[in-house]
Structure 1
């Protein structure tokens, strides 16, 4: 794969996103040894970072295609072919593996996995308990379907694109915020599990995070001078918003006496805006040097594979099936061993999956879709 066109600053953001996900899912493995709540404050929302980054990259691709070739179904088809050869083979491979393991060990019914094929398992309803991490992939895949479909249908020229594209972005933002606000008023929210099920992990409630990335792509394309001006100031403002969101998210329940309005309605957009404000300075960092930069680029490259294997496959099956019997006890040594196995399998398993499956299947798209 051609690495010469990669932007190192975005590799940093992608690597941070997957590391926050790994950290957040791995931290509970030590809950039997000490209080992990103070450390949970350091867990940023890696998935929302992925959403903003994905929106930024996909938004740029869409605008480039429309500006170069106009709208139309053929361009839309080419976009979908290239995107799905990038995401679907890995997903379906791991889906098959965890389904077979779930059927054998957890009494998972094969028919219950059919919604996962079309990413309908959490479109407008709580995500099933099994293979929970792919809730975010469903959000992304529906974004790949709906937003490009609307874009290629509405915009046939650069003139219309520049004038009306922001309105399409704001429409998707308004949709998600509107659904969340409505649900806040009609759904009984008794705990953060309700927040998770009805707000955080559904397709129709999360488009606004992706749209902030798309908005960044629009501004960087048509208002590049303003987009790139004062990048450090924007970054600090973004970090302030991210920290503010962390404080509100972790302590809003105590401050507002159990009212989850901030969690359910506002927090996603606030955090995404913080990440959005960090994009100008990150996009200006084109290359990195040294072993650290190589490590960051490697983690960025394998992040998708790592996301797919780290939770259900590694934490849910590989570790429990390896450490059974007396080894299933929660002693300090065994819990540390679990963490080491979790990190080792997640990293090196993702490298193998990336090298021997993700790269070959991604290359197939050149046979079916134009670059």
Structure 2
């Protein structure tokens, strides 16, 4: 394990394309605050935001899970190695995240809003077992992923030391599946005792709460593990996997649109099955995307650019930029063309600010991180 290099595998155009799709869907969904969308457009924006975040969560699980799986199998797995894995991951994300928390704090104080409980954000506990507050609400998905990885890394450490003679592959699979089963029972418990009958509240109370969402990360992790073991099979059957993914999405659509599953008549569907099935369906698209080639250098460069700044876009686009624009510019009586221009302004500021944040803060820290671990042979 000590000689294992961090996996910097070649970038896959299809997965980068998926990242770009995800961030575009999230930006599109938040324009509902600009247009006050209702009807079909409003529903499309809601679905877009929902799927955009799910894509990020499952894709992250797939990629980080594959790295963790390889490192777990490669040699001794000690407390030091587990801690380094977590440290590398957090050093990649937390500095920029903390900077944006401070920016949001200044904005909230300037407008006279409360920042009580802000300490939870620094510990990634803002939505561990309860809904995230109105301060930096879009940050909810970051704790879902990172706390999921932290728990998994140290659970693997504990059980690998308890079962020293067991196959590491079996330990990895058993711990991950066992963790998922525990989370499954937490969802069952929520469904039994919850009286919530509103999907918007469901989005805050279930979809955005860490203990009910780590399973989506773990589904991505398991598929990353499966891919590492059966690469040739996965890629050769990519059309089959794609078909299964499409069928799963159609099945979910059938349940919601045709059979009209609602919290009032099928709470078990929403509270227990819906989100894991969406995660599984997303995984089924990965083999096809892994085999996808970039159509041209220009398109490839554009996709790569958006991918590089995507984390900064995620952190800045809503609470920092859109919040300020909406409060500084009264759009109440704007015509549709004025709203369109406002949206273009919002997107331009988001992209340019994210580029600056990435170039002058996120990128230097990542370069320092890479250099530091290379010097230490990790």
* TM-score, normalised with respect to structure 2: 0.88
- Cα separation, 2, equivalents of 1:42 and 1:127: 20
Quote the offset at 1:196 in angstroms.
Answer: 1.5
Q: Corresponding residue for 1:112?
A: 117
Quote the offset at 1:81 in angstroms.
Answer: 2.2
Maintained 8 Å contact 2:97/2:315: yes
Q: Corresponding residue for 1:278?
A: 285
RMSD, matched Cα: 2.6
Residues 232-278 of structure 1, C-alpha deviation per residue, up to 9 Å, x if partnerless? Answer: 12112212323433454567656785543322221111110111111
How many pairs are equivalent?
A: 366
- Cα separation, 2, equivalents of 1:339 and 1:17: 18
Specify the SS of the correspondent of 1:240. helix
Matched, 1:50 2:56: yes
Aligned partner (choices 29, 36, 39) of residue 31 of structure 1: 36
Unpaired runs of 5+ residues, structure 2, are 1-6
Residues 129-178 of structure 1, C-alpha deviation per residue, up to 9 Å, x if partnerless? Answer: 22100111111120131111112333378962212222222122223322
- Cα separation, 1, equivalents of 2:208 and 2:295: 34
Maintained 8 Å contact 2:313/2:350: yes
Specify the SS of the correspondent of 2:284. helix
Quote the offset at 1:201 in angstroms.
Answer: 0.8
Maintained 8 Å contact 1:52/1:209: yes
Specify the SS of the correspondent of 2:97. helix
- Cα separation, 1, equivalents of 2:147 and 2:280: 21
- Cα separation, 1, equivalents of 2:9 and 2:193: 50
Maintained 8 Å contact 1:71/1:153: no
Maintained 8 Å contact 1:65/1:75: no
Structure 1 residues 101 and 145: alpha-carbon distance in aligned structure 2, compared to 1, 3 A threshold: same
1:1-371 matches, cutoff 5 A: 5-31=10-36, 36-37=41-42, 39-40=44-45, 43=48, 45-109=51-115, 111-155=116-160, 160-246=167-253, 248-249=255-256, 259-285=266-292, 289-317=296-324, 319-324=325-330, 327-369=331-373, 370-371=377-378
Quote the offset at 1:33 in angstroms.
Answer: 8.3
- Cα separation, 2, equivalents of 1:93 and 1:247: 43
Unpaired runs of 5+ residues, structure 1, are none
Moved more, 239-248 or 59-68: 239-248
- Cα separation, 2, equivalents of 1:76 and 1:291: 40
Maintained 8 Å contact 1:30/1:335: yes
Quote the offset at 1:202 in angstroms.
Answer: 0.6
Structure 1 residues 206 and 291: alpha-carbon distance in aligned structure 2, compared to 1, 3 A threshold: same
* TM-score, normalised with respect to structure 1: 0.89
Quote the offset at 1:36 in angstroms.
Answer: 2.3
Moved more, 220-229 or 47-56: 220-229
- Cα separation, 2, equivalents of 1:26 and 1:346: 12
Specify the SS of the correspondent of 1:123. coil
Moved over 6 A (4+): 156-159
Structure 1 residues 29 and 118: alpha-carbon distance in aligned structure 2, compared to 1, 3 A threshold: same
- Cα separation, 2, equivalents of 1:182 and 1:33: 34
Quote the offset at 1:15 in angstroms.
Answer: 1.4
- Cα separation, 1, equivalents of 2:224 and 2:270: 27
